[in-house]
Amino acid sequence: MTSSPRLHSQNWNAAGYATNAHFVPALGQPVLDLLEPQAGERILDLGCGDGVLTEKLIALGAEVVAIDNSSDMIAAARRRGLDASIMDARALTFESEFDAVFSNAVLHWIKNDPDAPVTGAFRALRTGGRFVGEMGGHACVGAITVALVATLERRGIRDAASWIPWYFPTVDDYEIRLRRAGFVPHSVQLIPRPTPLPTGMRGWLETFANPFCAALPQSERSGFLDEVTAILKPVLCDAEGRWTADYTRLRALRPSKPDFLRFVSRGELYPTRRDHHHITRGWFKLR
């Protein structure tokens, strides 16, 4: 039985995503509204997917640089005529050049080193620039995750929880990460968002649960997804056969890159180009 390595690698398929998960960018509209993009602003779309929201930012007059780590998604974004590039969110290469960084439904996939995209976003912003992001929050798809893990265990996979590919932080956890990167936090919220699934649980699992399927031989995967669907039916499917997933969202609104204040959270001083000071804790005024 396949049991390692646990790469948490999600195989993105743009066509499957458009069929089973078109609600993801559609439900990202409120985050885009909160970004309040202004004509002429330079914005980084961190994890653009197939570019549905990138197009909207451009339509509002922003100059957008779009990146994603999936070649299939980037190909789909380019088919829309977008200037989109493959880049790992953990290794952003931008430096003080954006008015805003925008991210929808991406950062929960970065379980391995969730600080890296926050630090990269901070570095990418000009002084005073803002970050507006939404991702799955604490306990997001909790019932679905329990069903996936328990069903893997039933099929003989030891330490099945280690196949969970998602990082769903609490408000406290994410505020600490934002501060540690240098942001002045404005608001971080956890919002329950029950989410209707247009192609039911089976469609959702086919699009999002392939990191769990990787624990099993190919021949078992379809039966595994059927079993998970059957377990979830009494909880997430109504009498009319409509499925609703137990999503929560974590929204980080407008934490901004300060020009002279840094929050030092761990008795360490995180270096910027302008500071070079002794170790302290709390709010710290730079020269």
Q: State the first-to-last Cα distance of the chain, in angstroms, to the nearest integer.
A: 59
Query: CB-wise, 24 or 215, nearer to ligand BEZ?
Result: 24
Q: Is 131 in the site for ligand BEZ (CB under 6 A)?
A: no
Considering the complex, state which of residue 74 and residue 264 has its C-beta at the smaller distance from ligand BEZ.
74
Judge whether 280 and 171 are in contact, CB under 8 Å.
Answer: no
User: For residue 282, what are its two tokens?
Assistant: 């709390």
Supply the minimum distance, in Å, between the C-beta of residue 115 and ligand BEZ: 20
Tell me phi and psi for residue 47, to 5 degrees.
90, 65
Does position 141 bind ligand BEZ by CB under 6 A? yes
> Is residue 24 part of the contact set for ligand BEZ (CB under 6 A)?
yes
Nearer to ligand BEZ, 58 or 141 (CB): 141
Query: Least distance in Å: CB of 195 to ligand BEZ?
Result: 8
* 210: enclosing H helix or E strand: helix 210-213
Residue whose CB is less far from ligand BEZ, 69 or 257: 69
Binding residue for ligand BEZ (CB under 6 A) from 17, 98, 122, 208?
A: 208
State the nearest-atom distance from the C-beta of 118 to ligand BEZ, in Å. Answer: 18
Per CB under 6 A, 73 contacts ligand BEZ: no
How many residues touch ligand BEZ (CB under 6 A)?
Answer: 7
Judged by CB under 6 A, does residue 105 bind ligand BEZ?
Answer: yes
Cα(61)–Cα(93) distance, integer angstroms: 24
Whole-angstrom CA distances from 15 to 21, 62, 79, 81, 225 are 10, 27, 12, 17, 20
For position 166 contacting ligand BEZ by CB under 6 A, the verdict is yes
Distance CA 218, CA 229 (A): 18
Which is nearer to ligand BEZ, 99 or 246 (by Cβ)?
246
C-alpha dist (Å) from residue 35 to 31, 38, 53: 6, 9, 12
Q: Which pair of structure tokens corresponds to residue 192?
A: 């329950």
Give the up-direction half-sphere exposure of residue 184: CA atoms within 13 A in the CB hemisphere. 14
Q: Residue with the closest Cβ to ligand BEZ? A: 105
To ligand BEZ, the closest distance from the beta carbon of 68 in angstroms equals 13
Residue (58 or 105) nearer to ligand BEZ, CB: 105
d(CA 270, CA 127) in angstroms, rounded, equals: 16
Contact residues for ligand BEZ, defined by CB under 6 A: 24, 105, 136, 140-141, 166, 208
